[in-house]
Structure 1
Amino acid sequence: MIAEQFLTRSPELLARYRHRLEEIKSPLVADEATWSTCALQAERIIQDCAQSLRSGRPEVRSGLVQQVEGLGTERATQGIGGVHSLRAGILLFDLVFDTLAETVATKPEEFDRFRAGVRALQRGIGMRLEAGALGHDTYLLNTVREVNAAAQRQLAREIHDHLGNHVSLALRQLELHELELTRGAGPQEIGARIGAVKETLTESLGIIRDLVTQLRRAEREGTLESSFAAFLESMEITASKVRIQVNGSEEWATQPVLDEVFLVVRECLRNSLAHAGAEHVLAVVDIAPYGVHALIEDDGCGFDVSKVATAGRANGIASATERVELLGGTILFTSDPEVRGTRVTITIPLRNLPGDSVDSGK
């Protein structure tokens, strides 16, 4: 009986679920095709909860869960990071849990069935997040492998086409020099030949330096992290107060995207220090082939997010939001004036995966 009562609220649950995702600007509701896959998983979780209410024991159809691994890969190709699936899972858990509790609120004798339904809910969401993360990580690892392979092929071409050609030319010039010596060539001819060899070898050294520079990309990278370091130094902020970490390769994002990320994160840091009165601030920027994800947390005084959302466009937070949205990304502020601490999460998809242009010279 309670299972049927619970199932009758399924359409309402899905509608509320979509509304909550729209409120946080989740890319899972950006288009109907993406939402339909999200709604399908939610429906299956609700059905498993209903079946668990009937039987009195947790029941999750594991065969259907395994299909989510492919869904995780699909979302990665769309530039939808795993954090969005995690947020969606938390939202769905809250909504379904409350509905389960309301369904059995007047039936304390059904507590065991309620517990079975909650366990099915937890397992269904957890197993799907795990399977999706596996597909997502597999895609990411394969992408990184392809990028490395493309870079190696490019390096091989550079060595063969440029360095190899110059070395071959220098060797040929030395062979001609030997022939001229056997023929009794004069000092002027010998000098010209030796000069040509030196010039060729000098050009070869230039090519070697260029290749070494490419191999030392790690030394050239870190521009984002160094920019943050320069900002903190200019503000005379110590590392104990603000900690910034940049992970991943900056080659996976274009310079305009990196510039915007720096400006947005810097604005968040300024707000934490100037307005929130934070004692400690943490900023983490993760750069991956599929997108850029940033997290900024502080222990300062919170603020009313709804009031900030309706503030004038000159507001710094509104400006940060606009910058992220222009890049096709999302920014989410979590704060409360009655609770210390503010959390900002930023996700920007990278549509053009690295490696797309690496081999353009083939």
Structure 2
Amino acid sequence: MECCQHREIDSPDLASLMEAERTRFREACERALNAMNGPIAADAAARRRLLSDSELIVSEMVESLRAGRPRVAEPSLVTAGPQVDPRDSLLFWEEFFSIVLRRLIAYADIDDRSREPFMLAVSVLYEGITARLSESLVSYSGHLLDKVHEAQRDERSRITRELHDRVGFWLNTASRQMELFEVARERGADLIGASQRVEKARFAVREAMRSLRATTTELRLHEPVQHLEKALLTAFAALPAGEATIRLNINGDEDWAPHGVKDEVFLIVREAVRNALVHGRSRLVVVGVHIAPHELRVYVDDDGVGFDTGTLSNGKGIGLSVMRERAEALNGTLTVSGTQGRGAHVGLYVPLPGHADA
């Protein structure tokens, strides 16, 4: 057997034998990756990167043996491309070290003559692997930091949405009710109607405080929306509708939509209706919600003053952008259209997981 054949070789001979083993080394590394059956084995790009690095280390060993001194190139830090957990790549490099070391031992008889090239080859092997592991660790650390920063940005956006939709809505409602109260008082309207305005404003302020507490503690509602129709009717009743009429039509089984989806849809619809009343000065707002096993669609149409489509690109206010962010968070789409003097239309599409028994 080859492992029992001890031969005295000098540095160039060992280099030539290592050169001849390239294909054998790669095949052994591929088998090792397949046996790992982990994230690396499933990621074609990560596999190619590790196999390429292992071949480079073999080249460094050959060059070092021929030069009689270490020739280990400093790997360039590459943050793009596949990001592999260093714990997974360490398993591969441990196996690679074992594969190459066994071949070196099979070739060399450790005596005074072959000791130096053998130790040189092992040293280059170790340094090459260590350099790649260090590179992987630094790159992966940067990848994790990017994820943290991305999560922080997403969290800031989410907090903005929560404050706008939950706290801002009720404060705007309270402010509008007080404005209507002042108008009614100046016109000498009946006290009962004016008192109702004040009571609605008080209710809105209390809801704003409750929502603010929920936002600062949990950054979410205390309870998700259980019944979308009931939640929307309650919200519409608190809106400063004045003489306007809001019609709601819901078709389909609400159980087809997860609570988290209904929660976000509720906030989008509520904001759309509020915009129609406050900014569009609509007399009629029609809301339709159609729920199917695999999708949820919403439309909000009004007969208000509409808008110039060019105003949508000005980015004024955060209401529309928040609605879009909520739709995107559901992997859905939000469309807004309107004509000045002829009302507006808001459409929402949200895909649902679907139900086999539907």
Structure 2 length as normaliser, TM-score?
Answer: 0.54
Quick one: which amino acid aligns to residue 196 of structure 1?
K
Match for 1:39 among 51, 61, 84? Answer: 51
**In the alignment, residue 216 of structure 2 is paired with which amino acid?**
V
Quote the Cα distance in structure 1 between the aligned partners of 2:128 and 2:327.
Answer: 37
Shift of 1:115: 1.5
Alignment of 1:199-238 (within 5 A): 199-215=203-219
Provide the residue aligned with 2:69 in structure 1: 57
Distance 1:47 1:357, change over 3 A: farther
Q: Residue 29 of structure 2: SS of its match in structure 1?
A: helix
Distance of aligned partners of 1:61 and 1:160 in 2 relative to their CA distance in 1, 3 Å threshold: same
Q: Distance in 2 between matches of 1:173 and 1:149?
A: 35
Note the aligned Cα RMSD (angstroms).
Answer: 2.9
Hey, what's the Cα distance between the residues in 1 that align with 2:327 and 2:51? 32
Larger Rg: 2
> CA offsets, 1:188-235, max 9 Å, x none?
233212211122123323432432343499xxxxxxxxxxxxxxxxxx
Relative contact order higher in (CA < 8 Å, ≥ 6 apart): 1
Structure 2 letter corresponding to 1:61: A
Q: Aligned ranges for residues 340-359 of structure 1 at < 5 Å?
A: 358=329
Counterpart of 1:100 in structure 2 is 104
Q: How far did residue 356 of structure 1 move?
A: 12
Q: Distance in 2 between matches of 1:356 and 1:121?
A: 53
Whether contact under 8 Å (1:180, 1:190) holds in the other structure is yes
The aligned runs of 1:130-169 (5 Å cut-off) are: 130-169=134-173
Q: How far does residue 43 in structure 1 lie from its aligned partner after superposition?
A: 0.6
**Shift of residue 172, structure 1, vs aligned partner:** 2.6
Amino acid at match of 1:10: R
1:113 aligns with 2:125: no
Structure 2: gaps (5+ residues)? 1-12, 222-325, 335-358
Q: Assess if the C-alpha contact under 8 Å between 2:214 and 2:220 holds in 1.
A: no
Structure-2 separation of matches of 1:40 and 1:140: 24
Equivalent positions of 1:161-180 (< 5 A) are 161-180=165-184
- Asked if 1:7 corresponds to 2:19, the answer is yes
Percentage of identical aligned residues: 24
> Where do 5+ consecutive residues of structure 1 fail to align?
218-354
Q: Which residue of 2 aligns with 1:66?
A: 76
Q: Cα offset for 1:179?
A: 4.2
* Inter-partner Cα distance in structure 1 for 2:328 and 2:49: 31
- 1:131 and 1:356 map into 2 onto residues whose CA distance is 39
> Which amino acid in the other structure matches residue 59 of structure 1?
R
Mapped partners of 2:148, 2:328: distance in 1:
14
Using structure 1 for the length normalisation, give the TM-score.
Answer: 0.53
Per-residue CA shift, 1:42-66, capped at 9, x if unaligned? 110011111222222221122xx11
Question: What's the secondary structure of 1:74's corresponding residue?
Answer: coil
Q: Which residue of 2 aligns with 1:296?
A: none
